[in-house]
Amino acid sequence: MKEILLLSGKGGTGKTTITGALAFLATNKVMADCDVDAADLHLILSPRPRQENEFWSGVEAEVDSALCSGCGTCVELCRFHALELAETARVLPFSCEGCGVCSYFCPEQAITLRDKLSGHWFIADTDYGPLVHARLGIGEENSGKLVSMVKRQARELATDQQADWLLVDGPPGIGCPAIASMSGTDYVLLITEPTRSGLHDLLRVADLVRHFKIACGVCVNKWDLHPATSALISQVCGQGGIELVGRIPFDEAVAVSIVRGMPLLAHRPEAPASAAVRELWRNLQRVISG
Ligand code: SF4
Ligand code: SF4
């Protein structure tokens, strides 16, 4: 089984659209949406839920008002301003960082730290194969941990069903979630767009991928919106030893397929962008198996 991770230096480059299009082409595969802060692969793949699981991560303070004397010590000590005092203390939603200071200094032992439900992760069936995805709770952090959880579950599923491919839609940027998504992957496909900022963000994420010694290639989405910058990206990638494995033209069929909630190739297989994705998939199979 080979694992392909799609990454981009920033959001909005078309990473999820291309993951959905590749999902249509690859046979015997499992898919994972590791962009847990803004998961949207399910909008294209229309999953039918098979399993829903809770994701518990971190702790938050809880005040037992029956024990609280209203002394205000916790409110004074909380540097995150996560407590307020009326007759008794109250923890403000989304503000507690779980540091435990209030609990330690409360003279009445009225504050405990309880585990926090931070989100949910799902296993679902789609017309194109199983999908593992997740939803992080509002204002929750620890998305790197949830990314690791989604990948682990997707890998187990792929191993169980002897899949040939694991396609992973990764988080944008170069932070903890992106790093977590790279663990153990065989190949990273970097999606960019033909702008100066796109090139800048591409080089940052490419540096990170090469730091972890993972093979990678680049796909320029909507390359024909600015051919000169696309040529520059191709040149810079060539100088850095990164192969340009795909160029996808701007195509209105892409936007329509997103609105209709279906992969591009299912919506308009004859569209120019669909032909470019087929070429991308051929190149990917060549570089990964070669
Ligand atoms: S420190 Fe303890 S007793 Fe004092 S206000 Fe806070 S919870 Fe209540
Ligand atoms: S655990 Fe820390 S952040 Fe949360 S309320 Fe207590 S002192 Fe504030």
At 12 the pLDDT is: 85
Residue 125 placed within a domain: no
Q: What is the pLDDT of residues 238-261, one digit of tens each?
A: 999 999 999 999 999 999 999 999
Global model pTM greater than 0.85: yes
CATH code where residue 215 lies: 3.40.50.300
Judge if 184 and 274 occupy the same domain.
Answer: yes
Judge if 159 and 278 occupy the same domain.
Answer: yes
User: For residue 142, what are the β-bridge partners?
Assistant: none
Please state, in angstroms and rounded to a whole number, the distance separating the CA atoms of residues 268 and 182: 32
Q: Give me the mean pLDDT over the 24-33 stretch.
A: 96
Judge if 142 and 220 occupy the same domain.
Answer: yes
Q: Give me the mean pLDDT over the 161-174 stretch.
A: 95
Judge if 152 and 82 occupy the same domain.
Answer: no
CATH code where residue 73 lies: 3.30.70.20
Assigned token pair, 78: 């909380």
Judge if 32 and 103 occupy the same domain.
Answer: no
Q: What is the pLDDT of residues 197-209, one digit of tens each?
A: 999 999 999 999 9
Q: Residues 118, 137: contact at Cβ < 8 Å?
A: yes
3-state secondary structure 73-137: HHHHHCCCCCEEECCCEEECCCCCCCCCHHHHHCCCCCEEEEEEEEEEEEEEEECCEEEEEEEEC
Nearest atom, ligand 2, residue 96 CA: 4
Q: What is the pLDDT of residues 118-159, one digit of tens each?
A: 999 999 999 999 999 998 887 776 688 999 999 999 999 999
Residue 71 near ligand 1, beta carbon < 6 Å: yes
Judge if 79 and 195 occupy the same domain.
Answer: no
Number of domains the chain contains = 2
Please count the residues of the chain: 290
Q: Which domain holds residue 178?
A: 2-46+135-289
Question: Ligand 1 centre and the CA of 60: distance in Å?
Answer: 15
At 148 the pLDDT is: 94
Q: Residues 20, 184: contact at Cβ < 8 Å?
A: no
Residue 61 near ligand 1, beta carbon < 6 Å: no
At 134 the pLDDT is: 94
Judge if 113 and 160 occupy the same domain.
Answer: no
Residue 122 placed within a domain: no
Judge if 86 and 220 occupy the same domain.
Answer: no
